[in-house]
A and B are shown apart, each in its own frame.
Chain A
């Protein structure tokens, strides 16, 4: 078995499997090797894949067209479908794989899948010839109810497929959480449960979907958003479509005019830090958020504390009198 593999990529794995593999590869690499980078499938020497997802053949075709023939490691035995590809193992167990990995004496670089795999047009043509047309404002929704292909404003591709172990019959909250977990891992391919309700497969405004997704990420800023920066909005979100909270309208009013840190936002708006993070994440996914690194000064004077927005201002009284809820 050839042991000159340099780059690993995951394809069609569940979030849990990605977590498991990424963690164990990291552990193995740190024990035996020296580097840990992130890349995408087009650079992969080894792809660990679950071949029973619709996107797999497309991405492998893409790789082939670029004259890349990575070795494949199947989580299920499916060599008949991909017989033209060199396989390092057949239905290998993760323990076997990691024994193999750790026995490699070469310097090994492990990478997680990330980045855009192919253009939107290619994906649209290859994957969903019968789907509805793509626009800037609408999700592309496949006629196949087992998966969705979603595109965000940065042209990142999200593939969402049914994944029974992630299904939470009590509602969609769990689905959002797993989508978020996958996003936070830097992967564009997301395995998550598609709600049983078929109405959920109806076209939804992309901006609204991204806004909802971002709003479900209150714990940490998404990868790509620097912590401790000053944030501003490049433009106003379309709150007519987003149906968001009044406080976020006020926050947007501020951030289109002035860059503020998360701490300043928390100080001047009656928002919990987690709500601020959720707002920034939502704006980032929708493509509104810009930032500049804050110059750190140990002698930075404390900013004057103004009354939190929405407390004493006459407009707050007016808003309350009209019946607009905070």
Chain B
């Protein structure tokens, strides 16, 4: 049996929880290229990713891995997004609900995702983090925003620190791929 080798991309604004999510599920200590942030007040954290985050989940004894890439959130690093997106199985979009313009951030992240794949079909799921810090917008607001954009993308409230929460995002991503193939036969 061929070893399983897949790649997932985590995309979102700075501070959305990409680094934390990867750390939650990675089998190995994640490689993170973080530096002290010069925009601490703006993004609400002391360090930010300037290269990319990398983690992996070992899938089998034959060297199979699920590789997890976290793209740097800030616009000035957008040149890296294309490179990281190549060959990805799907994209986990992340939004920080505690930000003053969380919905706008989500719209921006989704626009980035759509531009990144240039209209080609690709599977994505939206994970909204830090709803314990700020309770609004609620998940329905994100759903409405997705529907306005004609996207039937799942949107879940999650805690990026919790492995099970991040696995739910991955499960939803894999489910969409799996079920699409099944529905073609119906």
**Binary CB contact string for chain B from 162 to 185 against chain A (1 if under 8 A, 0 otherwise):** 000101111110111111111101
* Residue A107 lies at the interface, judged by CB distance under 8 Å to chain B: no
Interface residues on B, range: 35 or more
- Is A100 close to B, CB under 8 A? no
A318 engages B174 (CB within 8 Å) = yes
B residues near A306, Cβ cutoff 8 Å: 182, 185-186
Determine whether B127 belongs to the interface, using a CB cutoff of 8 Å to chain A: yes
**Per-position binary interface string of chain A over residues 28-41, scored 1 when its CB falls under 8 Å from any chain B CB and 0 otherwise:** 00000000000000
**Interface status of B84 (Cβ within 8 A of chain A):** no
Which residues of chain A are within 8 angstroms of B169 by Cβ–Cβ distance? 240
Q: Give the contact stretch, choosing among B41-49, B75-83, B100-108, B148-156.
A: B148-156
A residues less than 8 Å from B139 (CB atoms): 137, 238, 240-241
CB-nearest residue of chain A relative to B184?
Answer: A306
Residue of A with least CB distance to B125:
A236
Instruction: Assess the B171–A324 pair: CB atoms within 8 A.
Output: yes
Interface readout for A239-279 with B: 1 if CB under 8 Å, 0 if not? 11100001001101110111010001000100000000000
Which of A11-19, A46-54, A91-99, A308-316 contacts the other chain?
A308-316
B71 part of interface (Cβ distance < 8 Å): no
In the docked arrangement, what's the CA distance between A306 and B181, Å? 10
Q: How far is the CA of A236 from the CA of B144 in the complex (A)?
A: 11
Q: Do residues B178 and A322 form an inter-chain contact, with CB atoms below 8 A?
A: no
How far does the Cβ of B169 sit from chain A's closest Cβ, in whole Å?
8
Assess the B186–A264 pair: CB atoms within 8 A.
yes
Interface residues on A, range: 35 or more
B143 touches A236 (CB 8 A): yes
Shortest CB-to-CB span from B119 to chain A, Å, is 18
Name the distance in Å between A234's Cβ and chain B's nearest Cβ: 9
A239 with B168, Cβ < 8 A, contacts A253-B175, A321-B59 known: yes
Known contacts A253-B179, A254-B179; is-contact A322 B66 (Cβ 8 Å): yes
How far does the alpha carbon of A238 sit from the alpha carbon of B125 in the complex, in Å? Answer: 11
Contact of A249 among B138, B143, B175 (CB under 8 A): B175
B178 engages A240 (CB within 8 Å): no
- Are the CB atoms of B167 and A323 closer together than 8 Å? yes
CB proximity of A33 to chain B, nearest CB, Å = 46
Q: Which residue of A lies closest to B156 (CB)?
A: A240
Give bound CA distance, A318 to B174, whole Å. Answer: 8
Question: Knowing A256-B152, A257-B152 touch, does A317 contact B4 (C-beta < 8 A)?
Answer: yes
Known: A257-B152, A303-B186, A306-B182. A318 touches B59 (CB 8 A): yes
Q: With A238-B157, A240-B156 given, can you name 20 additional A-B contacts, CB distance below 8 Å?
A: A137-B140, A236-B152, A238-B155, A239-B168, A240-B127, A240-B168, A241-B156, A246-B175, A249-B168, A249-B175, A252-B175, A304-B185, A315-B174, A315-B175, A321-B60, A321-B64, A322-B59, A322-B66, A322-B167, A322-B170
Chain B residues engaging chain A, CB cutoff 8 angstroms: 4, 6, 25, 57, 59-60, 64, 66, 127-128, 138-140, 143, 147, 152-158, 165, 167-172, 174-183, 185-186
- What are 11 A-B interface contacts by the 8 Å CB criterion? A238-B156, A239-B154, A239-B156, A241-B139, A249-B168, A250-B178, A253-B176, A304-B185, A315-B175, A321-B4, A321-B66
